[in-house]
Amino acid sequence: MTFIAPALRVFLAPLLFLLPLHAAAQTACQFLQVAQVPLHYAGSGLGLTMTGEINGKRATMLPDTGAGVTYLTRTGVERHGLTQRPTGRYVHGVAGKSRLYEARVAELVVGPVRARDLYLSVVGETSFTPPFDAIVGAAFLLQGDLEFSLATKELRFFRPQRCASTWLAYWDKNASVIPFRQHDELTANPQFSVHINGTRLTALIDSGASVTTITRRAAHRAGIDLDGPRAQRVANAHGVGKQSVGAWIARADTFKIGDATVHDPEFDVIDSQLSVDVLLGVDFLRAHRVLFAMSQGKLYVSYLGGQPFDSRREVRPWMRQEADAGNADAWYTMAGMAVSERSRQKDPGAAIAYLERAAALGHREASLSLGVRMLVQGKPEQATTHLRASLGEGHTGRNGALWLYLAQLRAGDPQARAELEARFRERSDWPRPVVDYFLGKIDGDKLLDASDTPARTCFAANLVQLHEETLGKPDSVALPKDCKPMREQYQSPVAGADMAL
């Protein structure tokens, strides 16, 4: 596997020599801030991101303490026009394993670090479309001491000098101190102990996870009954790998970290074989100020207030603040939550209003959802307007082009075929078989044969059915037994744009 961290470390060192020279002559601890990086909430899950550059072009990056090293995503490869090649290696994640590819990057900028001529691993398969271009892992993030301050949406990098026995939580003399087990650089994220219902479990802080998650095995050890009244089965969880895994929301009696105890906490539970029992996610980081004191083998943790664990059952004030500040992803996330099975009180009307707010801010996935919903409800002219707004790079743009063709066909637009051909003229990858079917180059059976995942098969089968209906043959195609009709799915105002993964 190609690791980015050692290469970046070479470029981080010169920054330290820019520190005041007199520091070397002093005997007191010098806790030197190397960099301060703004954080943002982005994507349909409002995950943490930061801004960097790939080959001189702005890039969205996920600062992920739960990942060992740094990877490019297929989104980043496509957006930045990179060429990837197979490596024969795999990476394992929540949703199984993914092939690893490799791509050359002429220049990469992450925070204060600029590195040149790198070969980075590329995650080939995920069960969702990543909204970010790269995943910056623990081997880079935790080279020195690292502070998460989500109250100010900042990531701070420190390099301590002579601070082995010094209190480093400079903002709070009463912060909790959590000792952790030091690992080698390839498994850099420190693990520590927490207790759920009095049961000792291993945990790590995972800034790449939107919500705190425990494994099914750990839930069983802690006496949490996933078949009982305090648990709810929810839609499968997604991540690295093509598959999805079983998921629940479950309530425990207590959660204890350091000296702090949370009563009646609610967690996400997943049926996955992780290396630890508990992933403390961004919900935990939002309620706490956390310093990874790698130099001391400790975490400093201060509770700031608010809900420390959030299973996304309701819109939180911070989400509304993000939306009101113009974050289109926040409106889109809130739309999904308003009709989610997790929601305590579903509100389809609010979901549509949130989608429209997101679309008005240029959110292409929101435009795609609105457009497809209008199409399956028999409003092709209105659908066309929204679907044109969804066009562009990436998976959303390609899906939007397919749906736009169907909307144009139903509306009797004579330019439908020519526009579809032009949009996919240079592409041979998925969803090219769907395009060839629409253009009459292959039949429906060959399209289904070319659909190499269950999601693609169901997506293709539904499009074939809708296409045949448009041509006046509504009963000519039957869906595979494991596929839900799209009309059913679009009874919800928010339907996934990722059906053709």
Q: 428: domain CATH number?
A: 1.25.40.10
Q: Please tell me whether residues 143 and 183 are part of one structural domain.
A: no
Q: Let me know if residue 2 belongs to a domain.
A: no
**Residue 267 belongs to domain with CATH number:** 2.40.70.10
The whole-number pLDDT of residue 65 equals: 95
Q: What is the DSSP letter of 240?
A: B
Q: Is residue 419 part of a domain?
A: yes
Helices (H), 412-443: 416-423, 432-438
Same domain, 63 and 196: no
59 within a domain of the structure (yes/no): yes
The confidence score (pLDDT) of residue 187 equals: 58
Q: Do 241 and 96 share a structural domain? A: no
Give CA–CA dist 476/60, Å, rounded.
Answer: 45
* C-alpha closest to that of 429 among 403, 456, 465: 456
Domain-located, residue 248: yes
pLDDT, one tens digit per residue, over 84-101 is 999 888 776 665 677 889
- Say yes or no: 274 and 326 in one domain: no
| Average pLDDT rounded to a whole number, residues 446-461 | 88
- The whole-number pLDDT of residue 493 equals 57
Band of pLDDT at residue 7, cut at 50, 70 and 90 = very low
Q: Between the CA of residue 73 and those of 126, 131, 133, what are the distances in Å?
A: 9, 9, 5
pLDDT for 273 equals 82
What region, left, alpha or beta, does residue 197 occupy, with left being phi > 0 and alpha being psi -120 to 50 degrees?
Answer: left
Residue 6 forms part of a structural domain: no
Based on the fold, state whether residues 50 and 182 are members of the same structural domain. no
How many domains, the chain? 3
| pLDDT confidence of residue 489 | 64
pLDDT tens profile 382-393: 999 999 999 998
Cβ(8)–Cβ(115) below 8 Å: yes
What three-state secondary structure class fits 230? coil
Q: Which domain holds residue 180?
A: 175-287+296-303
In which residue are the tokens 């995942």 written? 453
Same domain, 132 and 212: no
Distances (CA, A) of 90 to 72, 93, 124, 491: 14, 10, 9, 38
Which amino acid appears at position 157 of this protein?
A: F
Torsion 270-274-276-281 (CA) sign: negative
Same-domain status, 53 and 195: no
pLDDT confidence band for 17 (50 / 70 / 90): very low
Cα 403 to Cα 395: distance, rounded to the nearest angstrom? 12
Same domain, 180 and 240: yes
Alpha-carbon torsion 313, 191, 137, 122, what sign?
Answer: negative
- Is the pLDDT at 344 greater than 90, yes or no? no
Closest CA to 309 of 344, 277, 266, 261: 266
Is residue 14 domain-resident?
no
* 269 is a domain residue: yes
Decide: 158 and 144 in contact? Cβ < 8 Å.
Answer: yes
Confidence of residue 19 (pLDDT cuts 50, 70, 90): very low
DSSP per-residue codes, 282-343: HHHHHHEEEEEETTTTEEEEEE-SS-S---SSS--HHHHHHHHTT-HHHHHHHHHHHT-TT-
Over residues 251-302, the pLDDT tens digits come to 999 999 998 999 999 999 999 888 899 999 999 999 999 999 999 999 999 9
Query: CB under 8 Å to 198, separation ≥6 — which residues?
Result: 254
pLDDT band at residue 239, thresholds of 50, 70 and 90? Answer: low
Residue 428 DSSP SS3: coil
